[in-house]
Amino acid sequence: MMHTHINYVEFKTHNLKKTKQFYSKCFGWVFTDYGDTYVAFSESGLEGGFEKTEEKITNGALVVLYHENLETIKDKIIKAKGIITTDIFSFPGGSRFHFTDPSGNELAVWSDK
């Protein structure tokens, strides 16, 4: 994988079952469940996922970049005045963190290392 290329997009949903049915029926996306609150999708042109939330969805998309070394890229983001909004955490398949850019856009960076 290329460093810092857009690698994944994540959306919010209130209902995983209805979301899967909609995107499968309309666009032929294929889904893989990861528990009761997350589902990944493929066959869309760009892989991504849906995270179940009870909160109001105002900006449902999270663009996820890839970088092999999360500590290195996290330090670069901080030095460039980005703000870490969620520190590094693990999930099945890797780790990631979230940040906002100087305009307030939230993105994430993940690694499988």
Q: What is the pLDDT along the chain (113 residues), one digit of tens a residue?
A: 667 788 899 999 999 999 999 999 988 999 999 999 999 999 998 999 999 999 988 778 999 999 999 999 999 999 999 999 999 999 989 999 999 998 788 999 999 98
Long-range CB contacts (within 8 A, 24+) of 14-21:
14/52, 14/53, 14/54, 14/57, 15/52, 16/50, 16/52, 19/50, 20/50
- Tell me the CATH class for 9-111: alpha beta
Write down the pTM of the prediction: 0.77
